[in-house]
């Protein structure tokens, strides 16, 4: 008979533990959303808190207490968000509703046959009818997804505003995460036997570093993408510039899929005005996301998650299937957690 100490080293046991952990995460996913949001907010505010803690008053005689630094970080964040919402939210929601209503019409006008008619005076070969039908179906499918996504964003945003009572706990949770994180980590570490506590503490530190770097880096990249895309669309004369800036912010949090859907929506919207504008918009998006992928992302994010692209795609598809857009938003950090746990625990002899 196999002893438990030997069984726990087997692939069957480790896979079973991973599947059980995944099932628990799935069951508690919706219920724990405020918890995950509070955790993300605490990671986002941690750098501000650290800067404020280092400030001195009265020629270095007095340092700002951590509790006061946390409170001030919330005040700074609240002022920033209030100004942003007051200035951007009204025109953004107006443009979102208008674009969502016009997308089906844009899709009908942006068929492959129309492109071929536009290019009929040139020396461009015409596509066979069967390929044209397939391309038209793909365009209709893509625009349908974009329309559903925009309507989902509008409805989910309204739903979030309507359920603020349920999310009111988020800043309080985030405050206590920032204030008591050391004590919480110690409590968790002491749940384990003394011989494995150093490893548990190391895992917690790595998880905190991974998630913290990811949230802060993603916040920077999303802000840059939103500003650059909105400004570029405005300069090019594309309608709904705020919507495409907003889609760029959301798209930055969803690797691969997010930028593609934002670019496709912008190109087909530009097609409504003129083919040349659609070409310029497509070139602008391609140029920006080349810079984003090869310059900005490596510099800002480094190797925070460091997972193969195929693993990220699988994580995004699973997250989208289980929890929709929110699942896709949290898919990458969850995959990063699995990566840390795999590296630390899979090849260890004991837990």
pLDDT of residue 87: 83
Chain centroid to CA 172: 23
Q: Could you give the angle at the alpha carbon of 115 between the alpha carbons of 110 and 118, nearest 5°?
A: 125
pLDDT tens figures, 273-325? 787 888 899 999 999 999 988 888 877 776 667 777 778 778 878 877 777 76
pLDDT tens figures, 49-77? 988 888 876 666 678 888 889 999 999 99
Burial group, residue 341, by CB count within 10 angstroms (0-12, 13-18, 19+): middle
pLDDT of residue 72: 92
C-alpha to C-alpha distance for 40 and 2, rounded to whole angstroms: 43
Q: Regarding predicted confidence, which is higher, 155 or 189? A: 189
| Chain position carrying tokens 């204030």 | 179
Q: Give the residue among 285, 279, 147, 267 at the shortest CA–CA distance from 229.
A: 285
Is a pLDDT exceeding 50 seen at residue 1? no
pLDDT of residue 148: 59
Range from 36-40, 239-243, 282-286, 313-317 carrying the lowest mean pLDDT: 313-317
pLDDT of residue 116: 47
pLDDT tens figures, 110-144? 554 444 444 444 444 454 555 555 555 555 555 55
Both tokens of residue 142? 């893509």
Range from 108-117, 222-231, 239-248, 296-305 carrying the lowest mean pLDDT: 108-117
pLDDT of residue 152: 56
C-alpha to C-alpha distance for 265 and 259, rounded to whole angstroms: 10
Q: What is the mean pLDDT of the chain?
A: 77
**At 63, which helix (H) or strand (E)?**
strand 62-63
Is a pLDDT exceeding 50 seen at residue 48? yes
Is a pLDDT exceeding 60 seen at residue 243? yes
Is a pLDDT exceeding 80 seen at residue 168? no
């Amino acid at each position: 008979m196999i002893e438990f100490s030997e069984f726990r080293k087997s692939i069957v046991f480790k896979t079973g533990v991973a599947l059980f952990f995944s099932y628990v995460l799935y069951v508690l996913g919706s219920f724990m959303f405020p918890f995950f949001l509070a955790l993300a907010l605490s990671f986002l505010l941690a750098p501000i808190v650290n800067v404020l803690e280092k400030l001195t008053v009265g020629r270095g005689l007095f340092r700002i207490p951590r509790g006061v630094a946390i409170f001030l970080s919330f005040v700074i964040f609240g002022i920033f968000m209030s100004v942003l919402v007051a200035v951007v939210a009204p025109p953004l929601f107006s443009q979102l509703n208008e674009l969502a209503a016009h997308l089906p019409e844009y899709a009908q006008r942006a068929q492959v046959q129309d492109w071929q008619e536009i290019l009929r005076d040139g020396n461009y070969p015409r596509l066979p009818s069967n390929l044209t039908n397939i391309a038209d179906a793909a365009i209709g499918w893509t625009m349908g997804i974009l329309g559903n996504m925009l309507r989902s964003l509008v409805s989910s945003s309204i739903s979030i505003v309507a359920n603020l009572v349920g999310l009111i706990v988020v800043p309080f949770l985030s405050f206590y995460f920032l204030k008591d994180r050391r004590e919480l980590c110690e409590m968790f570490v002491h749940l384990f036997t003394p011989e494995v506590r150093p490893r548990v503490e190391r895992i917690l530190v790595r998880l905190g570093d991974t998630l913290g770097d990811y949230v802060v880096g993603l916040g920077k990249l999303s802000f840059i993408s939103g500003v650059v895309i909105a400004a570029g669309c405005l300069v090019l004369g594309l309608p709904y510039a705020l919507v495409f800036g907003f889609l760029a912010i959301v798209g930055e949090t969803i690797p691969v899929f997010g930028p593609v859907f934002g670019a496709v929506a912008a190109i087909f919207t530009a097609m409504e005005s003129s083919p040349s504008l659609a070409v310029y918009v497509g070139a602008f998006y391609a140029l920006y996301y080349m810079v984003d992928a090869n310059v900005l992302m490596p510099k800002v994010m480094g190797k925070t998650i460091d997972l193969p692209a195929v693993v990220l795609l699988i994580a995004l598809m699973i997250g989208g299937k289980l929890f929709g857009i929110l699942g896709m938003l949290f898919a990458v950090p969850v995959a990063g957690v699995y990566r840390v746990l795999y590296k630390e625990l899979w090849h260890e002899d004991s837990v």
